[in-house]
Amino acid sequence: MELLTISKAAKKLGVHPNSLRNWEKRGLIKPVRLPGGQRRYSMDELSRLLQSGQLTDGHEVAVLYARVSTKKQADAGNLERQIERLRQYAKENGFIVRAEFADVASGLNQKRYGLTNVLKLAEQGEYRRLIIEYPDRLARFGCGYIERHLKYCGVEIIAIAEEEPEDAQSELVKDLLAIVTSFSARLYGARGGKKIRQRFRKLIADVESDEETTKEQKEDD
């Protein structure tokens, strides 16, 4: 009887090795354990699993992830509308939604509950597609590292929007100003540092004022 390693068995099934570990926990598959504790899978066991109908085609299973930067945006319904667009896309394209996650946080924030769970389920081999509106919903900078990690886990990212909405551009400006402000804080004790911080604060206030003016003009129209 031919026994396959977990990596070879996963390749046969077209899934990530973590999927096999997860199915074992759920009692869907039972590997042979070698004296050293290593898992081995028989072709008969793999065939039985595929023919049992207990598994959903992993290529159709998806997770949805949405993010807005501020509570004000969430309260205005932006987050829920974003999620609804993702749900509609998943429905129209025949995806089975495994889970939905959302964050109200800056794209610079690395400690996001929703994103953490997106990565956790990917590492467990729970889904094969991550559906987002556009790339920087995952992260403002360093998105490539997240994409690389998800790809390693066997997950493809699908961004459904061709262009970012106008409010996303204002988010970018705020995030850039936040970065500059953070660095300017290090100059506070240096010569001229206090003046630099004051100028950046004024710049941020001007940006926020321009956004309010634009919003009022649109409402008047």
Are the CB atoms for 29 and 43 separated by under 8 Å? no
Phi/psi of residue 46, nearest 5 degrees = -65, -40
Q: Which residues are catalytic?
A: 69
Phi/psi of residue 62, nearest 5 degrees = -135, 160
pLDDT in tens, 122-155: 988 888 899 999 887 887 666 788 888 998 888 9
Q: pLDDT tens for the chain, 221 residues: list them.
A: 688 999 888 887 777 787 788 788 878 888 999 988 889 999 888 888 777 656 554 447 899 999 988 888 889 898 999 999 999 999 888 888 989 999 998 766 778 899 999 999 998 888 889 999 988 788 766 678 888 899 888 899 999 986 665 555 556 555 555 555 555 555 555 555 566 666 666 766 676 676 566 656 655 55
